Amino acid sequence: MLGLGSRNEFNVEWQTVVITGGSDGMGKAVALQLSAKGANVVVVARTVSKLVTAVEEMKAKAANKFKQRFHYISADLTDPVECERVIAEVTTWNSGAVPDVVWCCAGFSRPGFFIDVPIQEHRQQMDTVYWTAANTAHATLRSWLEPVHPSAQMKTSRRHLIFTCSTLAFVPIAGYSPYSPAKAAIRSLSDTLNQEIEMYNGAYQRHRGAAPAADVKIHTVFPMGILSPGFDNEEKTKPELTKKLEEADKPQTPSEVAKVSISALERGEYLITTNFIGSLMKGTALGASPRNGIVGDTLLSCLSHLVFLQVIPELRSKTFTWGKKNGLPSANGTPAS
């Protein structure tokens, strides 16, 4: 995907990569593809059996079967102490060196209408979606941004922290209120860190006496539907109206989402979408986020704003018409007859 002569901004060969949620769906697809590109990979999730399988599959896909290393850590990342343990354990496993790349993929969606979903489940979505990512980012950046002696500074390497969001952070869809706010919070965290990290990167350039060991780049991926075990699960509580509102989306396979995301990272992109409708959704909500390219993103944004002049009222009128036709839903989201 890289143009002739352009630099690979995300070369993972011999680098140590941590992937949360790396035992299933998109996270596992990312793990397998980075293994095939020569990375040493640690996958983190709760269920050991799925982690063991992921490690086996990564070994089979490795670019250099004899030298690459793989590892798994079982942890519930809603607990910040567990996130610190993960980074410490990876560092020990990695002969004392902190990881080069951390990709937050853990999370799942529990759709339902706002008042039908018990308030504790709304809070749990914030825990599994936002806090797994924020805890992981906190533990990671604390380990990365600690000032080190100049002799410990790396010459070329650049570290990458990657969040996995959803295009629902850009555009509201009825039935996703337990989930979308948590993803929108990740987007806001990502934008804030993208700016804040420049202080450290600046210090790395000019104050090597007391600066982090390397540059850090932040990225966020915004997938559309992904045909994962998590997706099959969310379909069980997803209201029929929600399925109708998102029918323009053709869900992608985990490996397709992983491939497109990795290519975008190799081009050095910041906010990453995985298909055209996803880009349109981003374009209408770029706000004050850094652009991947001024010209491309500005044109995209103009096009999106025109398209969404129609889409915004359409989503609301589809919802209104649904209520008029079907009446109130029963608690599981299916229309009462």
Q: Is 179 a catalytic site residue? A: yes
Q: How far apart are CA 132 and CA 49, in angstroms?
A: 20
Q: How far apart are CA 12 and CA 135, in angstroms?
A: 24
Q: Which amino acid type is present at position 81?
A: V
Query: Does residue 224 bind ligand VSD (CB under 6 A)?
Result: yes
Among 43, 280, 285, 300, binds ligand VSD (CB under 6 A): 280
Place of tokens 């607990």: 79
Q: How far apart are CA 327 and CA 257, in angstroms?
A: 37
CA dihedral sign of residues 190, 258, 272, 217 = positive
Query: Does residue 137 bind ligand VSD (CB under 6 A)?
Result: no
| Nearest distance in Å: CB 50, ligand VSD | 18
Query: Does residue 24 bind ligand VSD (CB under 6 A)?
Result: no
Q: Which residue is nearest to ligand NDP (CB)?
A: 230
Residue range at the interface with ligand VSD (CB under 6 A); choices 67-75, 117-125, 199-207, 224-232? 224-232
Three-class DSSP category at 70: strand
Tell me which of ligand VSD, ligand NDP, none is bound by residue 105, counting a contact when its beta carbon lies within the kind-specific cut-off of 5 to 8 angstroms. ligand NDP
Q: How far apart are CA 258 and CA 29, in angstroms?
A: 6
Q: How far apart are CA 158 and CA 215, in angstroms?
A: 5
* Interface residue list for ligand NDP (CB under 6 A): 20-21, 23-27, 45-47, 50, 76-78, 105-109, 128, 132, 164, 166, 223, 225-226, 228-231, 254
Tell me which of ligand NDP, ligand VSD, none is bound by residue 27, counting a contact when its beta carbon lies within the kind-specific cut-off of 5 to 8 angstroms. ligand NDP
Residue 68: phi, psi to the nearest 5? -70, 150
Residue 335 sits at the vertex; the CA angle it makes with 129 and 310, to the nearest 5 degrees, is: 70
Three-class DSSP category at 1: coil
Query: Does residue 168 bind ligand VSD (CB under 6 A)?
Result: yes
Instruction: Please give the residues from 100 up to 129 whose contact with ligand VSD meets the rule CB under 6 A.
Output: 109
Query: Does residue 166 bind ligand VSD (CB under 6 A)?
Result: yes
Q: Is 183 a catalytic site residue? A: yes
Q: Which of 72, 130, 179, 204 is catalytic?
A: 179
Closest by CA to 259, choosing from 4, 17, 26, 24, is 26
| Nearest distance in Å: CB 108, ligand VSD | 7
Among 225, 239, 254, 283, binds ligand VSD (CB under 6 A): 225
* Token couple for 178: 């337990």
Query: Does residue 173 bind ligand VSD (CB under 6 A)?
Result: yes
Which residues participate in catalysis according to the annotation? 179, 183
